Amino acid sequence: MARLRVPRSATLAATTATALLLLGSAPVAVAEPSELLPTSQLLPIPPGGIHSFVRGLNSSGTVVGEYYVEGSDGPLAIRWNADRPGYTRLAPLPGEQFSRTTALSDRGWAVGVSYNTQPNANPVRWTPGATPKRLPLPDGSRGGNASAVNNSGVVVGDASEENNRTHPLRWQSNGSRIDLPVLPGDNSGTATSINNAGTAVGWTEKRDGTGGPAHPVRWNAAGAVSALPLPAGFVGARTSQITDNGVILGHGRLAGSAEYDRVLVWAADGTVRNAGRGRGYDVNRAGTAVGASLDDNPNGDTARWNANGTRTVLPNPAEAAGEVLAINNRGAAVGYAWPPAGNPALDKALLWKPNGKVVPLPPSPLGPYAAAFAINDAGVIAGFSVGTDGAGNATTWRATVWKR
């Protein structure tokens, strides 16, 4: 629920370096100047804060993320409320220093981790009133993670064990823990997403040093596990998202390959389609996915995989590189572009209309550089803006929203 499908790092350089794509110079369909563009707004941070990032956006326009204080060794979780100005700090658990959000539900539940040192993080859930609650882990766990939360406050994630295995978990609305089962023959797994019906997805695998494939799974509201089907020629897959109507996004691995580089979409009826080689970041209720396609270009094309099985290569104005990171249920998508050479931190935030027309998002007071990570059905967009010094080097990252 409202979980961003983006690389999660504290710096823009690390965020973008893993995603550098070189695109062709196809004609670009740019929005007409007369169209009403959303305006940008830097989200405020507490005194002493220097950087901030977005990690979740919900249907009301509330945003969660994290900020960094100069000289600190870790992040602090924060919420920007749609219905009032300012911010709300999401405190770490008592006795701990740092906190980070991973997801936000439409009813205001936020989840993430709290810690003093990594990897000994504790999964945490913040109430809509911002009170943190520790989510219990099995005895002997090294740490854990809360990946997603639904409107009832039910959370999924995993626990890390000393043997490099993980165990999938679900925490009920009252905070009690349920150990989710793995498929027969597997000994490790993780739960990545949960919808409002209580259905969760993830994968299980056998970690024994042989590099065997992951098996995509779905857990029903009662916690029973079942394997998701794979297309012919596939040996495994990892799932990352489930929508409220049961559409699932994941990445598959072909027989003879070690890479999970095929975008897979499972329809609500359980049928699966191979969308092609690429990186998928988000899917909507209609089964339309977005990301970067690798079918025609080894470096990637900004792409939308349509529910009817076709692919649309989306235009990318002038920058020649970028990714599509989110799509809403109306078919509008957002992402960013950056130069194919030079500083990968100097992004340009983009909006794609449902008809594929591209709209460069307005700059913030920090300057022209930004990245758009999420969009809700009301058209509110969240991401961050980049400030630079006189030489064009990135110096500041600030959480940003664009809205009309």
pLDDT digits (tens, 9 = 90+) for 282-338: 999 999 999 999 988 777 789 999 999 999 999 987 666 789 999 999 999 999 987
pLDDT digits (tens, 9 = 90+) for 224-252: 999 999 999 999 999 999 999 999 999 99
Residue 28 pLDDT class (50, 70, 90 cuts): very low
Percent of residues, the chain, with pLDDT higher than 90: 78
Residue 383 has pLDDT above 60, yes or no: yes
Residue 228's pLDDT is 98
Residue 180, CB half-sphere, CA atoms under 13 Å: how many? 37
Residue 25's pLDDT is 29
Residue 354's pLDDT is 97
Tokens 């990252």 locate to: 397
Position 132, amino acid: P
Taking the C-alpha atoms of residue 1 and residue 40, their distance in angstroms, rounded to an integer, is: 24
Residue 89 has pLDDT above 60, yes or no: yes
What average pLDDT does this structure show over 7-15? 32
Alpha carbon 199 to its chain centroid, in Å, reads: 18
Residue 2 has pLDDT above 70, yes or no: no
Residue 11's pLDDT is 33
Give 397: exposed, middle or buried? Use CB within 10 Å, 0-12, 13-18, 19+. buried
Residue 350, CB half-sphere, CA atoms under 13 Å: how many? 29
Residue 212's pLDDT is 85
Residue 162's pLDDT is 80
Question: In sequence order, what are the beta bridge partners of 158?
Answer: 145, 168
Position 47, amino acid: P
Which DSSP symbol is given to 211?
Answer: -
C-alpha angle 251/306/36, rounded to 5°? 115
Q: Are 102 and 87 in contact (CB under 8 A)?
A: no
Listed residue (397, 401, 367) closest to 383, CA to CA: 401
Residue 208's pLDDT is 82
Instruction: Give every CB contact of residue 194 below 8 A, 6+ residues apart in sequence.
Output: 1, 148, 149, 150, 154, 155, 156, 170, 200, 201, 242
Residue 24 has pLDDT above 60, yes or no: no
pLDDT digits (tens, 9 = 90+) for 181-199: 999 999 999 999 999 999 9
Residue 6's pLDDT is 44
Percent of residues, the chain, with pLDDT higher than 70: 89
DSSP secondary structure letters along 166-185: EEEEEE-TTS-EEEPPPPTT
Range of lowest pLDDT (55-64, 103-112, 315-324): 315-324
Cis preceding-peptide flag for 340 (omega within 30 of 0): no
Residue 216's pLDDT is 98
Residue 163 has pLDDT above 90, yes or no: no
What average pLDDT does this structure show over 333-362? 87
Residue 339's pLDDT is 73
Residue 13 has pLDDT above 50, yes or no: no
**pTM given for the model:** 0.90
Return the sign of the alpha-carbon dihedral for residues 26, 31, 33, 34.
positive
